[in-house]
């Protein structure tokens, strides 16, 4: 992966500007309380028009790129959907690069939004490397996580939560490349009554391993149902430092625990969640979250192939 990109870390001012953009394009997502007060509150980013929180960062990032500049991104799926949706809403064009192993449900959704994805290689890293090369040739590269505007856009979830629930609270969110945890952590850093817990799949832990090492490290990645969290991160990603500073706890969950969470969400709350989208709930149900106040688990996405979803419920 490229070592020559220098990415600016976002600030609370970026978060405030992103909030204005996101409020102008998206309704706040619900905070579901359920019937049992002992269960976590659920921030339903799965109810976004693209089925994922990623549309927040995409809208903010694309709004801040000059209209005459070509835009390229790489994605495991949901960020690409967010960018395609943002492009349609803003009257822009964007090139979305995904791997040949990307979720069929997400690839088909890209096509429904009017974007034909460029499919390269067999991993998220392959797609990212190709998109970065297009960026070096003159396009503006929007990373799914290593971008200040994307991070600030994701952080608007925290600003919504502030109007939906009183503190103290413990917010639990999934970590892939770390854009969501970085953005929510940026908000949480201004709130002494908010504790933030980040959750990785135990088969893909590039952020936590880089934090522990004190520098970027490449890690072994295993196949996981949480495909949206899978893959190594860009060398030097600002998310490592942001998460290291602003996250109170980092935990991992197994595929078995994620499947249990998918079933729990369906059976107890009537909600569809993809593997990555159920990861925060998985950590709560498995008793891995050190909680203070009410627990808020971010259900980050619902885009899962029907056959794969049915297999988890069997």
Is 54 one of the catalytic residues? yes
Residue range 99-104: mean pLDDT, rounded: 85
- The closest of 281, 267, 271, 298 to 160, measured between CA atoms, is 298
What's the pLDDT at 222? 95
What's the pLDDT at 154? 98
- The closest of 268, 266, 247 to 304, measured between CA atoms, is 266
Per the prediction, the chain carries an average pLDDT of 94
Statement: residue 76 has pLDDT above 80: no
What's the pLDDT at 124? 79
State which of 117, 142, 167 marks the end of a domain.
142
| d(C-alpha 264, C-alpha 116), whole Å | 34
Task: Output the domain CATH number for residue 109.
Answer: 3.40.50.1100
pTM: 0.94
Is 164 in the same domain as 42?
A: yes
Range of the domain at 134: 56-142
What's the pLDDT at 1? 44
Question: And the tokens for 145?
Answer: 């996580």
- Give a yes or no: residue 1 inside a domain: no
Active-site choice (143, 182, 201, 300): 300
Is 175 in the same domain as 264?
A: yes
Q: How many CB atoms lie within 10 A of CB 288?
A: 16
pLDDT in tens, 218-276: 999 999 999 889 989 999 999 999 999 999 999 999 999 999 999 999 999 999 999 99
Is 245 in the same domain as 257?
A: yes
How would you list the strands of the sheet with 71-74, edge to edge? Answer: 118-119, 95-98, 71-74, 140-142
pLDDT-derived band at 107 (thresholds 50, 70, 90) equals confident
| d(C-alpha 168, C-alpha 129), whole Å | 41
Is 68 in the same domain as 179?
A: no
Statement: residue 62 has pLDDT above 90: yes
Statement: residue 106 has pLDDT above 80: no
- Give a yes or no: residue 286 inside a domain: yes
State which of 142, 159, 179 marks the end of a domain.
142
Residue range 174-195: mean pLDDT, rounded: 97
Statement: residue 57 has pLDDT above 90: yes
- Give a yes or no: residue 155 inside a domain: yes
Is 44 in the same domain as 155?
A: yes
Residue range 120-137: mean pLDDT, rounded: 91
Active-site choice (43, 52, 54, 106): 54
Is 215 in the same domain as 270?
A: yes
Contact status, residue 285 vs residue 260, Cβ threshold 8 Å: yes
Rounded to 10 deg, the angle between the 148-164 and 12-25 helix axes is 70
State which of 142, 163, 188 marks the end of a domain.
142
Give the 3-state secondary structure of residue 70.
Answer: coil
Residue range 108-131: mean pLDDT, rounded: 90
Statement: residue 102 has pLDDT above 90: no
What's the pLDDT at 2? 46
pLDDT in tens, 161-174: 999 999 899 999 99
Is 160 in the same domain as 271?
A: yes
Is 101 in the same domain as 241?
A: no
Statement: residue 34 has pLDDT above 50: yes
């Amino acid at each position: 992966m490229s070592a020559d990109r220098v990415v600016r870390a976002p600030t609370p001012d970026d978060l405030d500007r992103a909030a204005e953009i996101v409020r102008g394009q998206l309704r706040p997502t619900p905070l579901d309380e359920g019937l049992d007060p002992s269960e976590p509150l659920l921030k339903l980013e799965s109810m976004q028009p693209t089925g994922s929180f990623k549309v927040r960062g995409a809208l903010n990032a694309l709004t801040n790129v000059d209209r005459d500049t070509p835009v390229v991104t790489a994605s495991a799926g949901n960020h690409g959907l967010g960018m395609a949706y943002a492009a349609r809403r803003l009257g822009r064009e964007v090139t979305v690069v995904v791997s040949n192993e990307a979720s069929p449900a997400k690839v088909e959704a890209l096509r429904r939004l009017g974007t034909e994805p460029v499919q390269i290689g067999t991993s998220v890293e392959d797609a990212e490397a190709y998109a970065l090369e297009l960026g070096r040739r003159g396009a503006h590269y929007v990373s799914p996580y290593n971008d200040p505007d994307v991070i600030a856009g994701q952080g608007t979830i925290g600003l919504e939560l502030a109007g939906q629930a009183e503190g103290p609270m413990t917010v639990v969110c999934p970590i892939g490349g770390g854009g969501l945890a970085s953005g929510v952590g940026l908000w949480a850093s201004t709130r002494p009554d908010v504790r933030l817990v980040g959750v990785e799949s135990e088969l893909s832990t590039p952020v936590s391993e880089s934090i522990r090492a004190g520098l970027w490290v490449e890690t072994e990645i295993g196949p996981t149902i949480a495909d949206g969290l899978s893959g190594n991160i860009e060398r030097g990603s600002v998310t490592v430092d942001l998460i290291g500073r602003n996250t109170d706890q980092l935990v991992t969950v197994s595929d078995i625990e994620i499947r249990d969470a998918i079933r729990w969400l369906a059976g107890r709350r009537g909600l569809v969640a993809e593997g990555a989208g159920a990861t925060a709930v998985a950590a709560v149900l498995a008793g891995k979250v050190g909680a203070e106040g009410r627990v808020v688990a971010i259900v980050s996405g619902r885009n899962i192939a029907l056959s794969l979803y049915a297999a988890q419920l069997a």
